[in-house]
Amino acid sequence: MIVGIVKEAFPGERRVALVPAVIPSLAKAGCQVVVEAGAGLEAGYLDAAYVEKGARLVPTRAEVFAAADAIFQVLCHGANDKTGRADLALLRRETVLIGFVRPLGAPEAVREIAATGAITFAVELMPRITRAQSMDALSAMSTVAGYKAALLAAATLPRMFPMLMTAAGTVTPARVLIVGAGVAGLQAIATARKLGGVVSGYDVRPAAREQVQSLGARFVELPLEAADAEDRRGYARAQDEGFYRRQRELMARVVAESDVVIATAVVPGRTAPVLITRDMAAAMAPGSVIIDLAAERGGNCELTRANETIVAHGVTVIGAVNLAGTVPYHASQMYAKTVSAFFLHLTRGGKLQLDLDDEITRETLVTRGGEVVHPRVREALLAAEPPPRDAAAGSR
């Protein structure tokens, strides 16, 4: 098979789906690689490095799509809601498309991809099982985002993170609260601790307590019981509004005592729950910082505006979107390793082998044969459709 790599088209996206170091592993498996000129430049990977590792360079995006049997992208149509639709005309029937697709958040885009006849795999649907860890692009990017969120908080806060004892007096450490102890949250905890902050973590899932404490942070105890807090894939389940209201009441004091809050709580395919209200933010000390990694899905903070930084009540609220893309060199390296490991899992002897009895293949496959084939994406499509006119008329 020929694997194609194109320059990411989303405005400001600096990552690239494959780095030169990964090409030999694909070649060993019987694959060739064709790369659009300049695809890796913004991530720090020169065209010459791709050629040196055996890739063939072509001048245009269209030539990559025309030559390739499989296309690796970071943001495919769906995840790229700005310019992704332009790729639909370039996709050929049976072309394998692998990347972030946002299938549950943008199911209509998935249907558009399906109409091209492409075989699409959404990497964000990778099951959280042991043998899929090396293929988990979402966790890899979440790790980068959590790391960068802590650095961004430290750079924005008008205080230093560590405690310092100097001739000029003692500097007290910053108090950092991480809401949501998933992959991003745990990395934010680890990084904030390395920077010297006094760190606390909270998660609705009881199993997160040990993970938070293992990183040297305090686990915030709230007298709340969540029904089915975790699904079979290891993600937090959405709770009812009554639960979130009680959670906000109990969390108000902890937020007010914090200099930094990094919020990472998301539920796949759902709007992010509001955990930090306007009043809670107003109770924080002037100069405090809220980094909202759930901004793209509505935000965990009531004040959040996606892709914007605002100051309200003296508190800086950063609606962080795509923090992984701000560290493009290593983010690309990590993404390339996960996506190539996934691709090699799908192929044998340089040919695609679709084994739908395999959980990894079955859970990530979203389009095939002109149809949307993933059950959860099909459900999302049905939920997005307006009711029939007769039903709507009868309900009045």
Q: Which H or E run contains 71?
A: strand 70-75
- Choosing from 85, 128, 159, 376, the catalytic residue is 128
- Kindly list the distances between the CA atom of residue 377 and the CA atoms of 117, 177, 217, 287, in Å, as whole numbers in the listed order: 17, 34, 37, 42
231-256 exposure pattern, b = at least 16 Cβ within 10 A, e = fewer: eeeeebebbeeebeeebbeebeebbe
- Choosing from 131, 133, 231, 278, the catalytic residue is 133
The beta-strand segments (E) located in 214-328 are 218-219, 260-263, 289-292, 309-312, 315-318
357 is catalytic: no
> CA-CA distance, 371 to 360, in Å (whole number)?
19
With beta carbons less than 8 A apart as the criterion, state whether 171 and 257 touch.
no
133 is catalytic: yes
- Choosing from 47, 205, 235, 362, the catalytic residue is 235
- The dihedrals phi and psi of 86, each to the nearest 5 degrees, come to -60, -25
128 is catalytic: yes
Sheet holding 371-372, edge to edge: 56-58, 32-36, 2-5, 70-75, 96-100, 119-122, 365-368, 371-372
- Choosing from 14, 111, 136, 288, the catalytic residue is 136
Exposed / middle / buried, residue 37 (Cβ in 10 Å: 0-12, 13-18, 19+): middle
Joined tokens for residue 192: 């904030």
**What length is written for the chain?**
396
139 is catalytic: yes
Looking at this protein, which amino acid is placed at residue 16?
A: V
Neighbours of 345 (CB within 10 A): 18
333 is catalytic: no
Looking at this protein, which amino acid is placed at residue 210?
A: E
- Residues recognised as catalytic: 128, 133, 136, 139, 235
